[in-house]
Structure 1
Amino acid sequence: MYKVTYLCFLFLMLFSCEKNTTYNVNGRIIEIHEKDYKLLIDHEKIENFMEPMVMFFNIHKSINMQTFNINDYVNFDLVITKNSHYALNFKTINKKEEIIEDEFDFLNDSNDEYKELSVGDTLNTVSFSKINNKSYTISSPNKNLTIISYIFSRCPMPDMCPAIVSHNQFLAKSFKEQKNIEFILISFDYIHDTPKVLNKYYGNIEKEYNNIIFLSSTNHLNDLMQITKQSGLRFWGIEENNIGHTMRTIIIDENNIILKIYDGNDVLPGTIKEDIEKLTKLF
């Protein structure tokens, strides 16, 4: 009896406890968000995990954020948990005295005619490709509410693009009986994320939820420029295969008027769900 109990306990210990994975990372600091404990870092390839990319890292609360400077080249440990990540054990390898100007991509052009919009403004009508290669226009007079988020399929961080997909699944399930609400996820990786690629990654999700749509921006570059600029999403490094991006979700009505804007990946899906419930009462 005791032997069986011990074996069961050992089994549970071995298989119920998940071990965090740690990677060593080198990269250059681009932005410092001291209050949020976040750094935007242009990092080198992380062996066995991630290609070079520019992205926000959650910094462990034990770290003094005032020790960092823009353009510092740092080495640190990246800890991947089940649902998130954090960085710690920072070492400054090289302090750069000059600010290096990076032209991440065309979206940073100050002469861009498409400016970031606010709540109450009207989003341009744009078109993309669905996973079945059919064209889809984001202008839905038959939908009272459209929730738009941005992702790319190769994003490996559990609390970034994968979390956005998961949040949309939760919301789609919550509102599956309401045919006038749809959830759109647009990939801004206009080179890699073709309709075929998106179908491979997300086709089963579309089959399970008839109110979720994944859209490819391949061959729709001008439309992508418009909607990301107007939504306030920043991304860069697509052509250099050194992708970085911010997080942004918006809600529009049937006239493409922006009703809600959510910045960052710290917004809980429950908060968005409550906002959608409030908005549906207006229609």
Structure 2
Amino acid sequence: MARVKLDAHSVAEGVEGLQEMPTSGSILARYLREEWVQALAQLQDAREIGQWVAQQREQLMQQIRPPQDGMETCRAFTALIDTVVRRLYDLALERAHVAHPPEVAVAATGGYGRMELAPHSDIDITFVPERDSDAATDRVIREMFRLLMDVMMEYGRLKVGYAYRLIEDCPTLDHTTQSALIDARLVTGSRRVFARFLGEFWGQFNSTDFLFRKIMERRQMLARYGSTPYLVEPNIKEGAGGLRDLHLIRW
């Protein structure tokens, strides 16, 4: 059984790097995160924040035309959502009335974790608490969940997926969940908890089994969507030569 081995120091160093977003590129220079932070700091109401997010998304979508780089737009949109999630986490801490920030990590997964977030992509977020059934942590996560639903979905017109993962659950995760967590990236919260989570996740990760299952999954999808890229209307996500093949090659 092939397993990935990482020591705690390596994981901690990786987390330090994952926290930072690239800042190069014309869009990110135009829409600086500092400006987003300042704008969001003036907003408290979920409706106002959601409407602001929708406006910013529309501005970014206007940039998706030649000669603009599509991936640059995705990174800019990822940076925007990161900024919003951090603001919502701060508001959740205030509304939960906790004496100290709880030991919980808020991570981006899937395409959001890879910093490939398109304007209509699902925003997948995972909460990782240090331990289960902690009253302060539970209050913060509940407040954060409410804010995400109101700001992102109701007023921001975005799709949000969420998960709650315990560190001790890592050995029992199915390969679909593993697929999302491979690209997990810390957005806000505890770096220490996130480092522990990554250490446990990669420490038990069976790469041979994972790749075998993903290859079998791709064969099933290709049987459904077509095994040739030479189609009049190909499925650019699930079809042959599409995004899923690119992700599998990366893994």
Question: TM class, shorter-chain normalised?
Answer: under 0.3
Larger Rg over CA atoms: 1
Greater strand share, 1 or 2?
Answer: 1
Greater helix share, 1 or 2?
Answer: 2
Using the size of structure 1 for normalisation, the TM-score is 0.25
The structure whose RCO (Cα within 8 Å, separation 6+) is larger is 2
